[in-house]
Amino acid sequence: MRVLKRIPELACPICKGDLEESECLLCPACGRSYEIHDGIPFLLGDDRGTFAEEIAIQDRVAGEYEEKRYQVAYSRRYHDWWTGRMLAGVNREGRILDNGCGIGVLFKRDFSDRVVGLDISSQMLKRAAKRSDQLVLGNSQELPLKDASFDLVFSRSLLHHLPRPELAVAEMHRVLRPGGEVVLADTHSSIISALPRILARKGERFSGVHRNLTRKVISSWLEPYFQIREVSYFGYLAYPLLGFPDFLDLFRYIPAKPLLETALIFVDEVLSRTPLIRTQSWGIIVKAVKPDLRSNGGTTFRREEAAL
Ligand SMILES: C[S@@+](CC[C@H](N)C(=O)[O-])C[C@H]1O[C@@H](n2cnc3c(N)ncnc32)[C@H](O)[C@@H]1O
Ligand SMILES: [Zn+2]
């Protein structure tokens, strides 16, 4: 099936104009053309140099995501639990953008036929293509998507990879319909995540941009555009022990895995609800809504932030 039939939301990343399809995708408005490789449109804008290091790293680790992170049983289960926490209470009707999808955590679900996966790494998308035909190679800071074309933007561990996350948040807002939701999970700046981050910087898996984020910083990016409705924390013991066998596989040596897995996730659930301790986490999840000014009499929304 033609690309524009599979993903009708596609637009020129530069001028946001409508595209026409032949052997490639053409933008009549600005005259640019974009290649299609193995059915995946490559819709990057002009600023490719800034992202070269990140693309090289992600292309290199894509195989480990597929063969270890989302293959080893206890890690897969942990990531399913994490994704479940992101999706809890979020409206999954309509079209969904998985922004920075990697090899794809939203495919093979009952709503997957409505998910468009976008990533900047061709090697991540090559793997995602085994599970989806709605994929686009693009830059989250310059989305190749039409205004107000999605109902939900899901973004798991993307913002802390970006040189200008505030641009990506503005783009998420642009492509969402009024009343649409955004759900983000990112690395959180805390006592337990500080030292590992410094050590990780010395390795070759992360670019210089890669960093932990505070709630305050994430809120400052979202607040100009969204009504934040929930901030929660996750990831204490289970996160490093279960979630990343592609670079730290301590759990491999532990007997009675299924039992301990369940216990670790349970302890993490409890810690994420314990005052004072809960903010000392590896991860943070933020859920927010694009105000629908039509249903609000044209007035601006009051910010009601619920810290769980
Ligand atoms: C930590 S991975 C997370 C992947 C996936 N969301 C998951 O949870 O497994 C970060 C992803 O963001 C992608 N990424 C980094 N910079 C990007 C950009 N500027 N635009 C789109 N994707 C980007 C990477 O290629 C990588 O797949
Ligand atoms: Zn154009």
- 119-174: per-residue pLDDT in tens? 999 999 999 999 999 999 999 999 999 999 999 999 999 999 999 999 999 999 99
Largest distance between two CA atoms of the chain = 61
Strands of the chain (E only): list them: 20-21, 25-26, 33-34, 36-37, 40-41, 96-99, 115-119, 135-137, 150-156, 176-187, 227-234, 283-289
CATH number given to 39-296: 3.40.50.150
Mean pLDDT of 16-42: 97
How crowded is the C-beta side of 208, counted as CA atoms within 13 Å? 4
Residue whose token pair is 């597929």? 66
Residue 64 above 50 pLDDT? yes
* Residue 306's pLDDT band (cuts 50, 70, 90): very low
- What is the pLDDT, as a whole number, of residue 249? 78
- Rounded Cα distance, 128 and 139, in Å: 17
At residue 183, φ and ψ (nearest 5 deg) are -130, 125
* Residue 247's pLDDT band (cuts 50, 70, 90): confident
Residue 60 above 70 pLDDT? yes
In this structure, which residue's CA is closest to atom 10 in ligand 1? Answer: 158
Closest CA to 97 of 118, 78, 73: 118
Q: Which atom of ligand 1 is nearest to the CA of 121?
A: 25
Mean pLDDT of 31-35: 97
- Rounded Cα distance, 60 and 115, in Å: 25
- What is the pLDDT, as a whole number, of residue 257? 80
**If residue 216 lies in a helix (H) or strand (E), which one and from where to where?**
helix 215-222
Mean pLDDT of 52-73: 93
Instruction: Using most ligand atoms within 8 A of CB, pick from 44, 58, 155, 184 the residue to mutate for ligand 1.
Output: 58
- Rounded Cα distance, 294 and 82, in Å: 34
- What is the pLDDT, as a whole number, of residue 308? 41
Ligand 1 pocket, CB under 6 A: 51, 54, 58, 100-102, 105, 119-121, 124, 139-141, 156-158, 161-162
- What is the pLDDT, as a whole number, of residue 307? 40
- What is the pLDDT, as a whole number, of residue 250? 77
- 74-129: per-residue pLDDT in tens? 999 999 999 999 999 999 999 999 999 999 999 989 999 999 999 999 999 999 99
Give the torsion through C-alpha atoms of 211, 138, 90, 189, to 10 deg.
0
Give the mean pLDDT of the chain.
90
At residue 187, φ and ψ (nearest 5 deg) are -70, 135
Mean pLDDT of 53-70: 94
- 222-231: per-residue pLDDT in tens? 999 999 999 9
Ligand of minimum distance to the alpha carbon of 13: 2
- Rounded Cα distance, 82 and 210, in Å: 20
Residue 304 above 60 pLDDT? no
In this structure, which residue's CA is closest to atom 1 in ligand 1? Answer: 157
Residue 212 above 80 pLDDT? yes
Predicted model pTM: 0.92
**Domain segments of the chain: what residues?**
39-296
Question: How many A from CA of 17 to the centre of ligand 2?
Answer: 5
Residue 297 above 50 pLDDT? no
